[in-house]
């Protein structure tokens, strides 16, 4: 079985699609944005809704402006919207790589993090990967500075910094670390 290792740079939070497009034009970080994740509240709802998606043929900012996108379900409450976009740091991904990472994040969100499946807007791709996947999520502010402290109720606090998926016959074991901790300076 093949092992897949991915290192993602997540940037945000952005409050709307236009802000993402403007940021992408600045060219901070390595390469283009392939993945995005957002949380927001639907009109008349008290709980947050979540969505993880991919943008292989276009940037994440461009994808979020597509007609009929799920972000339109939460855009009417801009003060409640938080968007994060990701770039692959260690590879130039193929379509299968982007699919695999999206599948891992979405299945972990749906099956372990968000207990109410209705809160995850993804209609497909909620099932586990069938490959061994190692995912390291690094979080950055929009200006490219590392995010050192994760605030409560934010995507960095919600999504594990490290996710490891080991598939078995009919299930997968997922291991992770919520937040990587500083240890010390080395000489």
pLDDT at 1: 61
| φ/ψ (deg, to 5) at 12 | 160, -160
Structure letter (DSSP) for residue 41 = E
Tell me how far apart the alpha carbons of residues 135 and 155 are, in angstroms, rounded to a whole number: 16
At 170-185, the pLDDT tens digits run: 777 888 888 887 777 7
pLDDT tens-digit readout, 7-43: 999 999 999 999 999 999 999 888 899 999 999 998 8
> Which pLDDT score, from 0 to 100, does residue 118 have?
77
pLDDT < 70: residue spans in the chain = 1, 115, 123-126
The widest CA-to-CA distance across the chain, in whole angstroms, is: 55
Instruction: Compute the distance between CA of residue 110 and CA of residue 155 in angstroms, rounded to an integer.
Output: 14
pLDDT at 40: 92
DSSP alpha helices (H): ranges in the chain? 17-26, 60-64, 95-108, 155-158
pLDDT of residue 94: 96
């Amino acid at each position: 079985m093949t092992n897949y290792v991915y290192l993602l740079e997540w940037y945000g939070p952005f409050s709307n699609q236009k802000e993402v497009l403007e940021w992408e034009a600045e060219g901070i970080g390595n390469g283009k944005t392939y993945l995005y994740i957002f949380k927001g509240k639907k009109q008349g709802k008290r709980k947050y809704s979540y969505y993880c998606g991919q943008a292989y043929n276009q940037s994440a900012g461009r994808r979020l402006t597509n007609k009929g996108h799920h972000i339109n379900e939460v855009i009417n409450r801009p003060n409640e919207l938080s968007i994060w976009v990701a770039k692959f740091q260690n590879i130039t991904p193929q379509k299968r790589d982007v699919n695999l990472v999206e599948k891992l994040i979405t299945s972990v969100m749906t099956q372990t993090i968000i207990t109410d499946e209705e809160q995850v807007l993804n209609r497909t791709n909620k099932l586990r990967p069938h490959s061994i996947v190692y995912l390291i999520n690094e979080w950055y502010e929009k200006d490219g500075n590392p995010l050192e402290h994760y605030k409560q109720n934010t995507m960095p606090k919600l999504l594990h910094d490290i996710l490891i998926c080991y598939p078995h016959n009919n299930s997968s074991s997922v291991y992770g670390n919520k937040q990587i901790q500083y240890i010390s300076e080395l000489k």
